[in-house]
Amino acid sequence: MHQCRICKGSYESFISFGKMPIANGFLRSEEFGKEYFFELATGFCPKCGMVQLIDQPNRDMMFHENYAFFSSTSSFMKQHFKEFAELIMQDIRQKSHPFVMEIGSNDGIMLQNFAKAKIRHLGIEPSANVAKVAIENGIDTISEFFDEQLAEKIKAKYGQADAIVAANVMCHIPTIHSVVEGYRILLKPDGIIMFEDPYLGDIIENTLYDQIYDEHVFLFSVASIGYLFGEHGMEIVDVIPQTTHGGSMRYVIAHKGARKISQRVIDQQEKEKQLGLHLPQTYMQFRKNVENSRDELVQLLKDIKKQGKRVVGYAATSKSTTINNYCGITSELVEYISDTTPIKQGKFSPGTHIPVKAYENFKNNYPEYALLYAYNHSKEIMAKEQDFMAKGGKWITYVPKVGVLG
């Protein structure tokens, strides 16, 4: 039994993926012996509905000086955040001198839209090297971890915010109560919070088990988010499903009673009931689905290898670390992983040590198959890889089912 980070109730694990390295811990060959491993396991709390990691590595091990994730590398994501920013701008349009804050502002992919529109903004980004890029691009950024104490300091210096935004950040923070309390402190009485993260409903429905890794301490649902914010005098007033990360949910939150609750919230709550997100047996079934998905993927890769065909991994994503380690995929089955991020190139994938190489290797010498680790960017990738497919290249996917495309 474990103690729930949200309601302090007790809960049990429903799946363990075994020993896992840090998902974004791409490493050099000299570092192979020093790699850190922890047991990746997840549980469901029946009281508040939160799905969460049992253990999480120290956050300094995950987000540090050399943290390799820069949001702006994807053009699709740039467009996504531009549209997200426009939605917020609509909400604050009537206000005089509005103030927008973002928690986990990365390289400024979202806030640049406010900077351009000359709207007062502030980003909080704990990774110093990523924050530096944002500051160099003219985006007001503080490089610290956000919590209640920082919220008080910001309130004293800048005042309260009309809108608080976060994308793919909230689910990373084990001490989330302190963040939500910080929001309560900083949010104007009529302000809104909009945040989005991978959605538990999609993860369960499509067996997206690669969304489970060290950084994602929580997998949110409308039920668990409603419980969490309810503890801090706030409520969900709208929900807007997103296609990002294989399925995300954008939650719109306000102080209790401040705004009308949309019918979409009620409909989504009903959908979660139909999916059985409140029932322990749903997670037992998920575990079976995960095991089947693993067995099928490994079999497919082995069959292709037997035929003497080449497989290259497409995109060295963090989430591929769960796939590679849980399925035991090494360079025996996947020759190398192609990735466009310079600081990942020349390194090796965490745990199973598949080489990561520059995209040109792929482009100049197509394999027969590409294992699509970045399925969440498949639209963008399919558009870009017409030539690969025209030359007979095929995609291996495991989402929502293991199979070959193209």
Residues found near ligand TYD in the complex (CB under 6 A): 73-74, 315-319, 339-341, 344, 374, 376-377, 380-381, 384
What residue 316 binds from Zn ion, ligand TYD, none (CB within 5 to 8 A, per partner kind)? Answer: ligand TYD
Helix (H, G, I), strand (E, B) or coil at 90: helix
Helix (H, G, I), strand (E, B) or coil at 239: strand
Q: Should residue 4 be labelled a site residue for Zn ion when binding is judged by CB under 5 A?
A: yes
Which of 47, 384 has the CB closer to ligand TYD? 384
Structure tokens at 229: 């914010």
Q: Which of 19, 47, 273, 302 binds Zn ion (CB under 5 A)?
A: 47
Question: At its nearest, how many Å lie between ligand TYD and the CB of residue 359?
Answer: 6
CB 320 within 8 A of CB 372: no
* Biggest distance spanned by C-alpha atoms of the chain: 66
Helix (H) or strand (E) holding 289: helix 280-306
Which of 294, 344 has the CB closer to ligand TYD? 344
Find the binding residues for Zn ion in span 60-119 (CB under 5 A). none
Question: At its nearest, how many Å lie between ligand TYD and the CB of residue 293?
Answer: 17
Q: Which of 22, 48, 154, 316 binds Zn ion (CB under 5 A)?
A: 48
Which of 47, 153 has the CB closer to Zn ion? 47
What is the spatial distance between Cα 228 and Cα 235, in angstroms, rounded to a whole number?
A: 9
Which of 226, 351 has the CB closer to ligand TYD? 351
What residue 7 binds from Zn ion, ligand TYD, none (CB within 5 to 8 A, per partner kind)? Answer: Zn ion
What is the spatial distance between Cα 303 and Cα 84, in angstroms, rounded to a whole number?
A: 43
Question: At its nearest, how many Å lie between ligand TYD and the CB of residue 294?
Answer: 18
What residue 302 binds from ligand TYD, Zn ion, none (CB within 5 to 8 A, per partner kind)? Answer: none
Question: At its nearest, how many Å lie between ligand TYD and the CB of residue 368?
Answer: 19
What residue 396 binds from Zn ion, ligand TYD, none (CB within 5 to 8 A, per partner kind)? Answer: none
Find the binding residues for Zn ion in span 359-378 (CB under 5 A). none
Question: At its nearest, how many Å lie between Zn ion and the CB of residue 10?
Answer: 8
Total length of the chain: 406
What residue 319 binds from Zn ion, ligand TYD, none (CB within 5 to 8 A, per partner kind)? Answer: ligand TYD
Helix (H, G, I), strand (E, B) or coil at 55: coil
What is the spatial distance between Cα 119 and Cα 375, in angstroms, rounded to a whole number?
A: 34
CB 26 within 8 A of CB 299: no
What residue 376 binds from ligand TYD, Zn ion, none (CB within 5 to 8 A, per partner kind)? Answer: ligand TYD
What is the spatial distance between Cα 244 and Cα 378, in angstroms, rounded to a whole number?
A: 10
Question: At its nearest, how many Å lie between ligand TYD and the CB of residue 240?
Answer: 20
What is the spatial distance between Cα 346 and Cα 78, in angstroms, rounded to a whole number?
A: 26
Question: At its nearest, how many Å lie between ligand TYD and the CB of residue 302?
Answer: 25
What residue 9 binds from ligand TYD, Zn ion, none (CB within 5 to 8 A, per partner kind)? Answer: Zn ion
What residue 6 binds from ligand TYD, Zn ion, none (CB within 5 to 8 A, per partner kind)? Answer: Zn ion
Helix (H) or strand (E) holding 191: strand 187-198
> Could you give the angle at which helices 148-158 and 176-186 cross, rounded to 10 degrees?
20
Question: At its nearest, how many Å lie between ligand TYD and the CB of residue 388?
Answer: 12
164-192 CB burial, b ≥16 within 10 A, e <16:
bbbbbbbbbbeebbbbbbbbbbbbbeebb
Question: At its nearest, how many Å lie between ligand TYD and the CB of residue 342?
Answer: 10
User: Nearest 5°: phi and psi at 46?
Assistant: -70, -20
Question: At its nearest, how many Å lie between Zn ion and the CB of residue 7?
Answer: 3
Q: Should residue 45 be labelled a site residue for Zn ion when binding is judged by CB under 5 A?
A: yes
Tokens 């020093």: give the residue: 34
Which of 195, 218 has the CB closer to Zn ion? 218
Looking only at the bridges linking them, the beta strands covering 187-198 and 161-167 are parallel
Helix (H) or strand (E) holding 160: none
What residue 341 binds from ligand TYD, Zn ion, none (CB within 5 to 8 A, per partner kind)? Answer: ligand TYD
CA distances from 97 to 74, 85, 161, 162, 183 (A): 31, 16, 10, 9, 19
Q: Which of 9, 174, 393, 406 binds Zn ion (CB under 5 A)?
A: 9
Point out which residues bind Zn ion (CB under 5 A): 4, 6-7, 9, 45, 47-48
